[in-house]
Amino acid sequence: MKRIKYSNGSSVINRNFYKNVGDIDIRGKGSFSSINLTASAEGTISKNIKGTRFTAGAYKDSKGRSSESFSIEKQLPNRSSVSIRKNRQGTNVSLHKDVGKMYGSLSAGSNKGNKQVLLNLTIPLGRR
């Protein structure tokens, strides 16, 4: 009898793609599951303009699910950053700041109509 070797028992085939064209990053990922007979694909494109990163992404699968997302991120002086993210569920605005050994973030947004504001402060217990 011929011996059959399986990769890790997985029936999913994944392919990843990355290309840098000038100052534009292009990423893609596709997968196919032979058990469920489903396929999915997603892609992301990013461009950095004067220290601000603009990103757009999309996802689609064979069951009709899809999504799109957009974000703008800017690194600010003094170890801080600001970002705006938008997708089908809602919009989120975040401000991140490092103060000494602490990390802080303030985030506000809406998710499917639910409005929320979050304040997060992280203090590491070990050495940095």
pLDDT, one tens digit per residue, over 46-90 is 998 888 999 999 999 888 899 999 999 999 888 889 999 998 888
- Strand segments, DSSP code E, in 5-111 are 12-21, 24-33, 38-49, 52-61, 66-76, 80-87, 90-99, 102-111
Q: Residue 31's pLDDT is what?
A: 87
Confidence tier at 10 by pLDDT (50, 70, 90): low
Confidence tier at 117 by pLDDT (50, 70, 90): confident
Cα 117-57-98 angle, rounded to 5 deg: 40
Q: Is 95 helix (H, G, I), strand (E, B) or coil?
A: strand
Two tokens, residue 82: 């600001």
H-assigned helices in the chain: none
Two tokens, residue 41: 């694909």
User: Which range, 14-28, 75-89, 111-125, is most confident?
Assistant: 75-89
Lowest mean pLDDT among 25-29, 41-45, 111-115: 111-115
